[in-house]
């Protein structure tokens, strides 16, 4: 069984999309751990409801040691780390041990509206301000940079003239809930071939 750890920082709707995809048979894998970087978030309640091991590693308490603590918990126990609305930056040995085995979902079409400080509603506000006609989401591998890893797949949505940031965010979120399980499925079935900066999907 392909095993994953899901890292969260908020409500966990992307976590729920993974859980739903497992329960409806789309994904042949299991969530071994749900780990948050703050206490008392709803994503942990979602995990609890589905009897998934969960814990909060408070970034305010652990500081620079946060990634090392995550590694201690999951090393040798999972095949893939999934960042599902996780806002802390992973560092150090965790990145080395899980090279090309950590993925993230970002609410924009990278390389647009990404990098330091670009998360949550801020991304959609910038897209609206810039006047783009197409927005979307990106699933990518995590490397030492911020949103700089190899792109696995992207989903696009039209930006309407009447959109505000919240409306755009909700439409992009629908695509996030499709894209993240799809990327996990491709990886779990060994259907991603990395060639330089490109991730080729094998049919």
Residue-wise pLDDT tens digits, 46-60: 999 999 999 999 988
Residue 191's domain comprises 106-140+153-203
Residue 106 annotated as catalytic: yes
Answer yes or no: is 77 within a domain: yes
Answer yes or no: is 148 within a domain: no
**Does 133 lie in the same domain as 69?**
no
**Does 124 lie in the same domain as 67?**
no
Residue among 106, 124, 140, 177 flagged as catalytic: 106
Residue 60 among known ligand-binding residues: yes
- For the stretch 55-103, pLDDT in tens is 999 988 888 899 999 999 999 999 999 999 999 999 999 999 999 999 9
Answer yes or no: is 147 within a domain: no
HEC secondary structure over the chain? CEEEEEEECCCCHHHHHHHHHHHCCCCCEEEEEEEECCCCCHHHHHHHHCCCEEEECCHHHHHHHHHHHHHHHHCCCCCEEEECCCCCCCCCHHHHHCCCCEEEEECCCCCCCCCCCCCCHHHHHHHHHHCCCEEEEEEEECCCCCCCCCEEEEEEEECCCCCCHHHHHHHHHHHHHHHHHHHHHHHHCCCEEEECCEEEECC
Rounded to two decimals, the pTM is: 0.96
**Does 118 lie in the same domain as 49?**
no
Residue 14 among known ligand-binding residues: yes
Answer yes or no: is 146 within a domain: no
Q: What is the CATH number of the domain that holds 65?
A: 3.40.50.170
């Amino acid at each position: 069984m392909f095993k994953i750890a899901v890292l969260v920082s908020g409500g966990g709707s992307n976590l729920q999309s993974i859980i739903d995809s497992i329960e409806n048979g789309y994904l042949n894998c299991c969530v071994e751990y749900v780990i948050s970087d703050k206490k008392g978030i709803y994503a942990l309640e979602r995990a609890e409801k589905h009897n998934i091991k969960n814990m909060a590693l408070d970034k305010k308490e652990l500081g620079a040691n946060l990634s090392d603590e995550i590694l201690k918990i999951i090393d040798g126990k999972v095949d893939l780390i999934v960042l599902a609305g996780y806002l802390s930056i992973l560092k150090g040995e965790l990145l080395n041990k899980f090279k090309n085995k950590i993925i993230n979902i970002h609410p924009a079409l990278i390389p647009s509206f990404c990098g330091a400080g670009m998360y949550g509603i801020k991304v959609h506000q910038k897209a609206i301000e810039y006047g783009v006609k197409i927005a979307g989401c990106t699933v990518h591998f995590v490397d030492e940079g911020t949103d700089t890893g190899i792109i696995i797949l992207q989903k696009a949505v039209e930006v309407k003239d009447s959109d505000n940031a919240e409306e755009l965010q909700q439409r992009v979120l629908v695509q996030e809930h499709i894209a993240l399980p799809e990327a996990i499925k491709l990886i779990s079935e060994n259907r991603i071939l990395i060639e330089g900066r490109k991730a080729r999907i094998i049919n």
